[in-house]
Chains A and B, each alone.
Chain A
Amino acid sequence: GAVVSQHPSRVICKSGTSVKIECRSLDFQATTMFWYRQFPKQSLMLMATSNEGSKATYEQGVEKDKFLINHASLTLSTLTVTSAHPEDSSFYICSATEQNNSPLHFGNGTRLTVT
């Protein structure tokens, strides 16, 4: 089955530093990947749609300069949290789909803690 790999699974960083999270589709090509954020006891909130070879599409209220997305190849999308602050501490998870009308395949997620 289709597998999405996400790294790192857990990261602790200091305020002001940047953190990069990688999302890879291991056995299929994904022209589009999705980045979600989850706060405790809340639903997965779509942050942005990552498009291979073009700019990401951000959801309303998501700062594109804070959350940089790069989708340089058909199997890799990265999310960089720039100048991280404690309020950026959250659970981030990516997903991709093989084709329209197919289910989403998720990475394992990244728990980010900013101290």
Chain B
Amino acid sequence: ILNVEQSPQSLHVQEGDSTNFTCSFPSSNFYALHWYRWETAKSPEALFVMTLNGDEKKKGRISATLNTKEGYSYLYIKGSQPEDSATYLCASPTTTDSWGKFQFGAGTQVVVTP
């Protein structure tokens, strides 16, 4: 995998259901993997910074796992609520020489319907 890729592009979830989606990234020279939530008319907000293989992080009903050897991360939303509706972005640094230069996935747009 040469680029950061996310799937699916979008998904619709019924309120109360749980869901998950994927971020794939280059596994060679891995440094970090970020997840961001981007709500309409707002700025992207950092959810997780993940660095260690096997890492699992949690923030409320949202959690993420990381597999650096195979180059993927899952983001899980448990008991989805309408306020979880947003585009979720993952990003990985393109270089370790300059922190902040990230390659972003195209995002997974989540729509939670009541």
Contacts and interface: CB of A to CB of B under 8 A. Distances in A.
21 contacts: A6-B43, A32-B99, A34-B100, A41-B106, A43-B103, A43-B104, A44-B91, A46-B101, A49-B100, A93-B44, A95-B44, A95-B100, A100-B99, A101-B49, A101-B51, A103-B46, A103-B49, A104-B34, A104-B100, A107-B43, A108-B42
A95 B38 CA distance: 13
Interface of B: 4, 9, 32, 34, 36, 41-46, 49, 51, 89, 91, 94, 98-107
A77 B97 CA distance: 21
B105 A4 contact: no
Contacts of B103: 43, 46
Contacts of B99: 32, 97, 100-101
Interface of A: 4, 6, 32, 34, 36, 41-46, 49, 93, 95-97, 100-109
Contact of A44 (B9, B45, B51, B89): B89
A104 B46 contact: yes
B26 to A, nearest CB: 15
B34 A108 contact: no
B104 A109 contact: no
Contacts of B98: 32, 49
Contacts of A45: 104
Nearest to B34: A103
